[in-house]
Each structure stands twice: as C-alpha cells, then as structure tokens.
Amino acid sequence: MPRLIEAPVGGADGQSGKSGFMAALFLLTLVGAGAGAIFAKYLVDYTEQEVQGRLRKQQTYSETLPFTLSTRLQKLDPLVTNLASPKDAWIRVHASVLLEEETEGEVGLLRKKVEDDFLGYLRTLTLSHLEGGVGLQHLKEDLTERAKTRSKGKIHEVILESVVIQ
C-alpha cells in the first residue's frame, strides 16, 4: 500500500501564512479607505466651489441690469406707415417697451403717446436709413431716445420684435 504523507495542521508554517494574509488585507483596507477619503474631500470641495461660483454669477447678473426688477414689458400696437422715400415703401414695426411698474397715471395713454411719436418719426425715414444691421441699431436707439423723452424717463428701453419693409 502506498504511504500517505500528512501535513501538520496548525503548525508554524500555517500561522505565518494566515498572519501575512491578514496583514495584506489590513494594508489594502487602509489604502482603499485613504483613497476614498481623499476623493470624497476633493469632490466636496469641487462641488462647493461650483455652487459658490454660480451664486456669484447670479448675483452679478442681477446687479448689472440697466433697470430695476420691477420693470415690466409693455407691448405696443403694430405700427404701419409709409416711408419718406421712396413713396411706395411701407414699414411695419412690432415693438415693446420696458416700463417702470410704479408709473402714475394711465399706462394706456402713455403707450398711445409713444406710438403716435413713433409713427411721426417713422414717416421721416428713408429706405437708406434702414439698410443693414447698423440701420436697425440706429432705429432702435432713436426710438428708445424718443420714448424716454416722451415718457419723462419712465420707459427704459424699446425692444424691436420685428421690422418689415415692403
């Protein structure tokens, strides 16, 4: 019969292998916990910086508005009139104004005065005044200046929604 060799159970070699495994497991646990803690700290700091940056952007945006937060958009009736030159050219303007909410008196009356003033101004324009982006920018600036003057500063800005020249 063949001889069987039995290995000693719980001998000196078995204890050292088990303690080495436990030491390696403990070391890997420490490395993993440390890496996780460093990553978590980085993630928390990065998130906090992003939130603070967005809050600063929101605050600076509202502080840079050229008008108060109580300003309201008031739509004007469409304006249709002929141009000064050529005689067969017509212009149609859809516009709105930024109006201070705390205005005394009738807003409707102020709107009609501004619309009449705009019609009178549009009748003096020629087709060459309105050509290109620069012409539209000048039209917007001129209408805004006229509206501010007519409303005694209650209108902040004129917004051109559409301009059609036919």
CATH of the domain at 101: 3.30.479.30
Same domain, 150 and 90: yes
Mean pLDDT of all residues in the chain?
Answer: 86
Domain residues for 126?
A: 71-165
Within a domain: 6: no
Same domain, 46 and 95: no
Within a domain: 142: yes
Does position 11 have pLDDT exceeding 60, yes or no?
no
Average pLDDT in the 69-91 region?
A: 90
Q: How many helices (H) and strands (E) does the chain have?
A: 3, 4
Q: Among candidates 122, 132, 133, which has minimal Cα distance to 89? A: 122
Same domain, 36 and 77: no
Same domain, 147 and 126: yes
Task: Write the pLDDT tens digit of every residue in 21-68.
Answer: 899 999 999 999 999 999 999 999 999 999 988 887 776 665 666 667
Within a domain: 115: yes
Q: How far apart are CA 12 and CA 45, in angstroms?
A: 50
Q: Around Cβ 157, how many Cβ atoms within 10 Å?
A: 18
Q: What pTM, to 2 d.p., does this model score? A: 0.61
Same domain, 88 and 138: yes
Same domain, 78 and 156: yes
> What is the number of structural domains in the chain?
2
Within a domain: 152: yes
Which one-letter DSSP state was computed for residue 101?
Answer: S
Same domain, 45 and 89: no
